[in-house]
């Protein structure tokens, strides 16, 4: 696909689509609750549609209406039915990993699998703690990858678990298993990761305690159907924040953006880089306004990393245009996303003229490098594809041809149309 290049003066207001992490979890908790759950501003993108499909295969009635999704809860884990076929999650890491926790205590066997990218992402980080809780799980060739075979009929017990990686998906899988287990489960995180599962447990009427890096909960809880209003996804807003900061003479307003503090690391980075960004926040969401800015390099590391892990590709692009050097470290998790995002960012932006050195756990980016036309690829990774379109807007000479552009539909099906609307 030929990308739009060479833009100035992009102005407009955008309401980004619903948060992907919250959309997945609202289907999951809606399915496990008693009664109906109505979800407003659900993300109608491939990953979340995979979650709907999988829960329908587990016997949950889910209706997709014009402005909402209605989930008819089965009233607990034991209400889920044995699926008639393997459960296919497409490209969605969140779906497969959280599902492993949800089905860890099921009475039936289930096989979970996904596309080529999913089959290369580590699943043993989830199967190991679940096995400690009493689940029986086989991964392909015992190598820790999908397809994952979950054996049914196990009694689970609570554990005390020290997380070896900072991952909300691993934490969430353990929390779902803990809800079916006897006794208490205590999880100690390496760094604080997004807490949407914890928030959902509370929203649906359950009890969970979060204190610093420690999360505790007990099994045998009941959930009641809810009205869920999904805020806009800050990970999708990030591409338009970058557009507003980088494209000359631009001004972009983003409405109803989710502002859960475990997700807002990008706002801290923009501030550290000297970007013109203002935020009007209500409780959970708010409006963000950005203007074209002169940026400076920064260091991104430590506890900030899980708060912006999915924004690092677009932050790397910001850094290519900033004054001085930007260092991203402690981000080795980028290697096990939809693609190896350290390599993908370094290789594709280098094709366009950027000066980036990949490291074992991040990137070193030299700023103020003009970008030029090139043939690039998303590697089938939605966030790499969207980052490259924002990069293309800065290209003054030459064309940018993007391979595997269709990957953006994983989280933002209208992405290219929204860019066109800002120009039109
Ligand atoms: O769902 P998936 O494919 O893992 O999606 C990604 C993304 O870029 O959209 C990661 F590739 O987001 C993850 C995120 O990186 C979504 C997520 C969640 O909803 O719990 C948590 C993060 O992953 P992890 O492995 O750090 O827990």
Q: Is the CB of 26 under 6 A from ligand 1?
A: no
Q: Using an 8 Å Cβ cutoff, are 420 and 392 in contact? A: no
Q: Which atom of ligand 1 is nearest to the CA of 166?
A: 26
CA-wise closest residue to 196 among 220, 175, 211: 175
The reply, when asked if residue 25 is annotated as ligand binding, is: yes
pTM: 0.98
Residues 6+ positions from 218 with CB-CB distance below 8 Å: 158, 178, 183, 184, 185, 207
User: Domain boundaries in the chain?
Assistant: 11-17+231-423, 20-229
pLDDT for 283 equals 76
Assign residue 67 a region: left if phi > 0, alpha if psi is -120 to 50, beta otherwise? alpha
Alpha helix positions (H), 231-290: 234-246, 265-272
How far is 215 from 199, CA to CA, in rounded Å? 12
pLDDT for 284 equals 83
pLDDT tens-place string over residues 330-379? 999 999 999 999 999 999 999 999 999 999 999 999 999 999 999 999 99
Catalytic site includes residue 109:
no
Cα-to-centroid distance, 9 and ligand 1 (Å): 33
Cα-to-centroid distance, 94 and ligand 1 (Å): 6
pLDDT tens-place string over residues 198-212? 999 999 999 999 999
DSSP string, 117-140: TGGGS--HHHHHHHHHTT-EEEEE
pLDDT tens-place string over residues 42-97? 999 999 999 999 999 999 999 999 889 999 999 999 999 999 999 999 999 999 99
Q: Are domains 11-17+231-423 and 20-229 of this chain identical in fold?
A: yes
The CATH architecture to which 20-229 belongs is Alpha-beta prism (3.65)
The reply, when asked if residue 93 is annotated as ligand binding, is: yes
Residue nearest to atom 24 of ligand 1 (CA): 167
Q: Which CATH superfamily is domain 11-17+231-423 in?
A: Enolpyruvate transferase domain (3.65.10.10)
Element containing residue 91 per DSSP (H, E): none
**424 has pLDDT over 80:** no
Backbone angles phi, psi at 221, to 5 degrees: -105, 155
pLDDT tens-place string over residues 385-415? 999 999 999 999 999 999 999 999 999 999 9
pLDDT for 281 equals 86
b/e per residue, 228-259, with b = 16+ CB within 10 A? bbbbbbbbbbbbbbbbbbbbeebbbbbbbbbb
Task: Name the pLDDT band for 126 (thresholds 50, 70, 90).
Answer: very high
């Amino acid at each position: 696909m030929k990308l739009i290049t060479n833009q100035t003066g992009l102005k407009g207001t955008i309401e980004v689509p619903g948060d992907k992490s919250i959309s997945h979890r609202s289907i999951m908790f809606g399915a496990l609750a008693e009664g109906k759950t109505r979800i407003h501003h659900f993300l109608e993108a491939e990953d979340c549609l995979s979650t709907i499909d999988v829960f329908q295969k587990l016997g949950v009635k889910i209706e997709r209406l014009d402005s909402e999704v209605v989930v008819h809860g089965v009233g607990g884990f034991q209400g889920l039915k044995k699926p008639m076929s393997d459960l296919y999650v497409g490209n969605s890491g969140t779906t497969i990993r959280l599902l492993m926790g949800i089905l860890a205590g099921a009475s039936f066997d289930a096989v979970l699998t996904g596309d080529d990218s999913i089959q290369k992402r580590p699943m043993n980080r989830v199967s190991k703690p679940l096995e400690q809780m009493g689940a029986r799980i086989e991964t392909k060739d015992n190598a820790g990858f999908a397809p994952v075979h979950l054996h049914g009929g196990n009694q689970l017990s609570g554990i005390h678990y020290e997380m070896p990686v900072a991952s909300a998906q691993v934490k969430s899988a353990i929390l779902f298993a803990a809800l079916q287990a006897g006794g208490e489960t205590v999880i100690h995180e390496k760094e604080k990761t997004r807490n949407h599962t914890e928030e959902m447990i509370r929203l649906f009427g359950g009890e969970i305690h979060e204190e610093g890096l420690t999360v505790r909960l007990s099994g045998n809880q009941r959930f009641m159907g809810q009205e869920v209003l999904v805020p806009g996804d800050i990970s999708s807003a990030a591409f338009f924040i970058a557009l507003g900061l980088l494209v000359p003479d631009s001004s972009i307003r983003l409405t109803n953006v989710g502002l859960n503090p475990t997700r807002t690391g990008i706002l801290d980075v923009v501030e550290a880089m000297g970007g013109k960004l203002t935020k009007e926040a209500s409780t959970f969401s708010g409006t963000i306004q950005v203007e074209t800015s002169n940026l400076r390099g920064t260091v991104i590391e430590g506890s900030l990393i899980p708060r912006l892990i999915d924004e690092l590709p677009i932050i790397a692009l910001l850094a290519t245009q900033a004054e001085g050097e930007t260092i991203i470290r402690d981000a080795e998790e980028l290697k096990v996303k939809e693609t190896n995002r350290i390599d993908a960012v370094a290789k594709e932006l280098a094709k366009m003229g950027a000066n980036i050195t990949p490291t074992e756990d991040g990137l070193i980016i030299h700023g103020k490098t003009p970008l030029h036309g090139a043939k690039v690829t998303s590697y089938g990774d939605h966030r790499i594809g969207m980052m490259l379109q924002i990069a293309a807007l800065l290209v003054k000479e030459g064309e940018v041809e993007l391979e595997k552009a269709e990957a953006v539909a994983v989280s933002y099906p209208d992405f290219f149309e929204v860019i066109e609307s800002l120009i039109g």
